[in-house]
Amino acid sequence: MSIRSYQERWVPLLYGVAFLFTTILDMLPPLYASNESHPCLYRSDIASFVVRAAAYRSAGYVNKAREEYLHALTLDSLCPDLWILLAQAYLERGDIDSSIAAAERALSIDSSLAEGYGVLADAYAVRQPQRAAWYALRAMERHSTLSDRLRAAYFVRSLDTARAIELLRQIVQEVPIEEVARDLIELCLQYRDTLQALRLMRDLLFEYPDRVELALDLSSLYLQRQRWDSAWLYVRYAMYHMTTADVGTTISQWLEFVDEHTPTTVLIETARFLLGRQDLSCAHTILLAHHFVLRHRFDYAHQLIAHAFSQPQLRRNHALAGLSLMCQWGDVPLAFGLLDTRERRFDDLWVALARYVLGRYYGGMAPSVLDSLLTVAFERDSTDPTILFYVAYRADSLGQRARAIDLYQRLVFADPNNVAAANNLAYILAQQGTQLFYALELAERALRADSSNASYLDTYGWVLHRMGRYQEALEYLQRAVESAQEPSATLFEHLGDNYNSLGRVEDARKCWMKAYELDHQRIYLLKRLER
């Protein structure tokens, strides 16, 4: 907490205590004044001025209160209490210099007056923090109340952190004020005393067991110290007091911290928690399964994926990710079994697509079987963008250009941001030599989305080539070859064709030769090389 924050929070409270103290003194018998070294008519002649001033200050009329104090001081200019009240009024008014002068006048009359040092500490807080801390400590030495110790702790913290921590610790032990305890924790962390901060946070959580954010802060500190077991303990504690939405957010944040250093025992505890929940996103379950696969703990990975497939909220992409994990450790039949069970129980439309994806990438199925699976998926849901893309791609590979164009156009119309479909459609149109300006627009859309994609660079360059803009095409076709992760016969062939159109025959022959070396089925390239 900054000094300014301290002033905003505690100074009004201190003034209120001072007013109450003054009122009680007003009701004491006149004998009190006779014991003072400087006689004060505070409770007789000037009482009416003080009472009116207190009322004005409570109502926010500080200037009128100041006038009442000044009238009272004309009757007794040696009453230190009056000077303190006047100093407080000046401070509330923002007149720092006058407040300091009045407080110093009070201390010149009675140097043991703790309130004088307190006012001076508040007055110097912004201008001279070191001097403010000195006055705050003097006030505490003369009158060690809770408010005086609080003021001293907050003013000293920037000069002597250790002493501020000790003062706040003593206060928290006597009176467990949550805000003070939090400030003490923050101070301990700044002082790099993590152990004391942890202890204080545990004590505070015991006093206020429903403070979710405190439990999460504890978990974060334990994570910094690589105390995974304690960190998970407090995450669990916090989630016990949360709604389902907040639990989902918290478990997601927890999984972001999980890495190769996380103990397997902690992963197992997290898995048991997720297996016991039916209301969370399956994304958490699949992500945790991924960590178990990396550690070759396929038993827990399988439990988590099977649990996800038993939940009605399982979505297609999460299902595909889980199935992909299973296939990676060689459990392809079990993955297909999960799909069969899922279809019987929930009859999701995406199950047919998942079968096709598994068969295409992991099943080793014959093309005819894959075609039948894709046909079934398309019949189940002819509006799914992923299914449409696969069907369009398959139609293009079979030479069914008209159908491929129709399907890709449907995709691009429904989702202009589907850049993969836009790129493929642009390439087909370029191959046919039709709608080249439209093809260029589509290729440019894809290239804007990923300017380093070799396929998109090649398509854009090839469209320019087909438009006869060979010099412009050269840059993109060259970049396509350079950025390709693996050599591609198509990329080298296109670059060779463009070199040939520019009259650079030798460069063209080199590219065609490279294309033929990569794909010997391109026999037609040999005829070009024989020219």
Verify that 227 and 150 share a domain, yes or no: no
Verify that 248 and 265 share a domain, yes or no: no
Question: What phi, psi does 127 have (nearest 5°)?
Answer: -75, -50
Verify that 132 and 61 share a domain, yes or no: yes
Verify that 80 and 112 share a domain, yes or no: yes
Verify that 340 and 285 share a domain, yes or no: yes
Verify that 98 and 236 share a domain, yes or no: no
Is residue 139 a part of any domain in this protein? yes
Single out the residue of 249, 217, 246 nearest to residue 234, CA to CA.
217
Domain count, the chain: 3
Q: Check if the beta carbon of residue 4 is closer than 8 Å to that of residue 144.
A: no
Gap between the Cα atoms of 1 and 213, Å rounded: 18
Verify that 305 and 318 share a domain, yes or no: yes
CATH of the domain at 45: 1.25.40.10
Gap between the Cα atoms of 20 and 18, Å rounded: 5
The SS3 call for residue 126 is coil
Is residue 180 a part of any domain in this protein? no
Q: Domain ends where: 187, 222, 254?
A: 254
Verify that 120 and 15 share a domain, yes or no: yes
Gap between the Cα atoms of 466 and 318, Å rounded: 41
Verify that 244 and 291 share a domain, yes or no: no
Residue 211 falls in which region: left (phi positive, over 0), alpha (psi -120 to 50) or beta = beta
Is residue 429 a part of any domain in this protein? no
User: Position 306: which residue type?
Assistant: A
Q: Check if the beta carbon of residue 271 is closer than 8 Å to that of residue 304.
A: yes
Q: Domain ends where: 349, 381, 408?
A: 349
Q: Domain ends where: 159, 192, 226?
A: 159
Is residue 80 a part of any domain in this protein? yes
Is residue 381 a part of any domain in this protein? no
Verify that 223 and 111 share a domain, yes or no: no
Tokens standing for residue 213? 């954010």
Verify that 224 and 264 share a domain, yes or no: no
Is residue 495 a part of any domain in this protein? no
Is residue 119 a part of any domain in this protein? yes
Please give the residue range of the domain that contains residue 247: 209-254
Verify that 224 and 263 share a domain, yes or no: no
Going residue by residue through the chain, which has 531 residues, state the pLDDT in tens, using 9 for 90 and above.
454 454 455 444 444 444 444 444 443 333 233 334 444 545 567 888 888 888 888 888 889 989 988 988 888 888 888 898 999 898 888 899 999 999 999 889 988 888 888 888 888 887 888 888 888 778 777 877 767 666 666 667 667 767 766 766 776 666 666 666 666 566 666 656 677 667 766 777 787 788 888 888 888 888 988 899 999 999 999 999 898 889 999 999 999 999 999 999 999 999 999 999 999 999 999 999 999 999 999 999 999 999 999 999 999 999 999 999 999 888 899 999 999 999 999 999 999 999 999 999 998 888 999 999 999 999 999 999 999 999 999 999 999 999 999 999 999 999 999 999 999 999 999 999 999 999 999 999 999 999 999 999 999 999 999 999 999 999 999 999 999 999 899 999 999 999 999 999 999 999 999 999 999 999 999 888 887
Neighbours of 91 (CB within 10 A): 24
Tokens standing for residue 246? 């907040």
Gap between the Cα atoms of 96 and 127, Å rounded: 10
Gap between the Cα atoms of 145 and 122, Å rounded: 16
Gap between the Cα atoms of 288 and 310, Å rounded: 16
Neighbours of 2 (CB within 10 A): 11
Is residue 502 a part of any domain in this protein? no
Q: Check if the beta carbon of residue 485 is closer than 8 Å to that of residue 476.
A: no
